[in-house]
Structure 1
Amino acid sequence: MSSTATRATTADPIYHQPMAERPVYATGMLLDAQDFLDEQTYHRGRLARALAFVAGGGTLAGLRVVHQPSVEASEGGPGEDDDVAARPEEIRVEAGLALDRLGRLIELPRAACLRVARWFEAERARNGGDGLLQAAYTTPERFLSARAVAEAAMPGAVPVPARAVVADVLLRFVACPRGLSPAFAAGPFDALNAVSVSRLRDAHELHLVPRAGLDDDFNGLPLRAGATTLPGETEAEALAREAAMDNPAANADERRAALQDAVLHGYARSDDGAPEPGPEHAVGVDPSAVFIARVLIPVDASDASVRNGDAVLVDNFARRFLPGAGLLSRWNGL
């Protein structure tokens, strides 16, 4: 488990995207731990910076999100399968690999789960359930991807509920201390058995975040790659320009110009280097976290703090996908 300190955004120097400075060594130079940390930060930072701009934050492989209903315990009878253990209702994130918005790799080597009932009860207890009330919407299909809406209309599929709490699944990079090694005691101590953390494992945190403030003009989903508004350009003009990149039948010169503009205006860096929140980041959410799915949790028509028992709908298709070169070649018929 990571500590509160290692889960803080400031725990990783990459978070503020430090300027590229390489340690320089000389024979006879005195070195301390900070020199070796700076060496790691330089190489990690250059790799993360390259990945952030070459690919951007999103899903590289796996990380499919599914809803698993609760299962009651049962005993297997004669000629039947073994006993079935009870299982609570869960949002399950399958193993996979993602890039966060800073270019850091986040890997789930095995599936991870979020317990829906526990999360719902915690949200209902927080501020009198205001978060659930503000994140509950009628006609919530407005906030789903087109593919999720189409699949929900198919026979046997989980339908779009009439009213639901809209919540997003986000994946966040954290470092977990692993292992202790003997070390000289630091500070005003006189210890003969002092130890220090000897390894940091690149790990993850999963968050299920209720989404308030959505409407027909703001769906809170990640922006598409290259989304930007040029100086002096209206939002409508920006959308029309970007649409040319999505349309293979559009004028070749217009598509080329849209791509060039996206590159020329694609560099962004805040004063302190920290990432700016995207539309997918609610207030208080780490802006480096990567969005992987949206879920609709059905609630009572008159009381958003009461579940109505229908299945949770999961939208896996509103995220940003980062297919590898081999997949892109095949998709283009090469």
Structure 2
Amino acid sequence: MSNRFPFHAAENHDPARSDPLTSSTNTATTFSTADPLTRQPLGERPVYATGMLLDAQDFLDEQTYHRGQLARALGAVAGSGTLAGLRVQHRPETATGPEEIQVNAGLALDRLGRLIELPRPACLRVQRWWDAEAARSNLQQADYTTPGRFISARAQAGVELPARAVVADVFLRFAACPRGLTPAFASGPFDALNAVGVSRLRDAYELHLVPRRNLTDTGLGLPLRAGAFTLPVDQETAEEALAREAAMDNPAADAAARRAALQHAVLNGYHRTADELPRGPEHTPTVDASAVFIARVLIPVEPADPAVRRGSAVLVDNHSRRFLPGLGVLARWTGL
């Protein structure tokens, strides 16, 4: 049993009402891991000529080129985060259903520029997750006193903060869901006339609820602000970096300082790694580096015994994530 809760967009599966526990070797995860976009390939498209012999790899390369260019464009223009929806809510246990963390329908961009869509609400059953993590002794390491310091100021407003709580994060991850078996030549050391192969891959998703360990007042484990970067030490001092970040966040700051900060963000904003996508501060070693952070939850526990939940309340912070508002929303916000 793993701490992963995959939900795949298959026609015969309603993710709004179920949360199967599967291992990290499930079929969809295998296909997702094999996605060529994880290698961030350079733009190389096939060239065809009359009489040229083609095989399946040529058609895969064609798809990879177009998918990769679109992902690079979306990632460069918008970054990664929430495009629309994906509000996370706590639903207490009722006579008709168990206690759940519900992620509402929505759309996100992952750190490789891939679109991830939840077409309907999906739920994580809290008590099942709690029991599984407790059996692996993961909850004690994610237990904190005064946990309000690890959530956004907006999430703290108007609520009673627990004195002690387990901190966990909700992640959304891209997954490819194999569908549509069709007759095909057998591959590998096989000799069969009735072989079949997958004819479709549906862009689907996985939800993960992950206990957060080793958080500190200076290491909150939250996504970096858009445009956050660090110049080499021979180009910028720590004081200059703080001033630059302050100018980026302050609309009333000196116009020249804000322009310089924006130009630095563009000049130092190119990222491509040939081997492995660097992890953000929000990603634990067990979380895919391309996954999108969408919420933080605080589960209150007894002050004298962190293995025992205190009450049934769960505090959800929807505001520490990265938001990617559309141009229409931005235009209205700026008064256009």
* TM-score (ref. length: structure 1): 0.90
Q: How far 1:270 moved relative to its partner? A: 2.5
Q: For structure 1, which runs of at least 5 residues remain unmatched after alignment?
A: 73-85, 153-158
Q: Is the Cα–Cα contact under 8 Å of residues 214 and 220 in structure 1 kept in the other structure?
A: yes
Q: How far 1:184 moved relative to its partner? A: 1.6
Q: Is the Cα–Cα contact under 8 Å of residues 5 and 11 in structure 1 kept in the other structure?
A: no
Paired letter, 2:222: L
Distance 2:204 2:132 in 1: 24
Q: Is the Cα–Cα contact under 8 Å of residues 104 and 122 in structure 2 kept in the other structure?
A: yes
Following superposition of structure 1 onto structure 2, how do residues 1-334 of structure 1 map, counting pairs within 5 Å? 4-8=26-30, 10-72=33-95, 86-126=96-136, 129=137, 131-152=138-159, 159-232=160-233, 233-272=236-275, 274-334=276-336
Q: Deviations over 1:56-84 (max 9, x none)?
A: 11000000000000012xxxxxxxxxxxx
Q: For structure 2, which runs of at least 5 residues remain unmatched after alignment?
A: 1-6, 9-24
- Across the aligned residues of Structure 1 and Structure 2, the Cα RMSD in angstroms comes to 1.4
Q: Report the secondary structure of 2:306's partner residue.
A: coil
Q: Is the Cα–Cα contact under 8 Å of residues 40 and 274 in structure 2 kept in the other structure?
A: no
Q: Deviations over 1:93-149 (max 9, x none)?
A: 0000000011000000000000000000000001xx1x2111111111111111111
Distance 1:250 1:151 in 2: 30
Q: 1:125 to 1:289 in 2, by over 3 A?
A: same
Q: How far 1:191 moved relative to its partner? A: 1.7
Distance 2:170 2:239 in 1: 29
Distance 1:67 1:105 in 2: 25
Distance 1:237 1:211 in 2: 32
* TM-score (ref. length: structure 2): 0.90
Paired letter, 1:114: L
Distance 2:78 2:320 in 1: 17
Q: 1:309 to 1:277 in 2, by over 3 A?
A: same
For the pair shown, the structure with the greater C-alpha radius of gyration is 1
State which drifts further: 239-248 or 197-206.
239-248
Paired letter, 1:117: Q
Q: How far 1:230 moved relative to its partner? A: 1.1
Paired residue for 1:76?
Answer: none
Give the % identical residues. 72
Q: Deviations over 1:211-264 (max 9, x none)?
A: 111111111110001101111234454232111111111000000000000111
Aligned residue pairs total: 311
Q: Report the secondary structure of 1:304's partner residue.
A: strand
Q: Is the Cα–Cα contact under 8 Å of residues 94 and 110 in structure 1 kept in the other structure?
A: yes
Distance 1:99 1:30 in 2: 37
Q: How far 1:188 moved relative to its partner? A: 3.2
After TM superposition, the runs of 4+ consecutive aligned structure 1 residues lying more than 6 A away are: none
Q: Deviations over 1:33-60 (max 9, x none)?
A: 0000000000000000111111011000
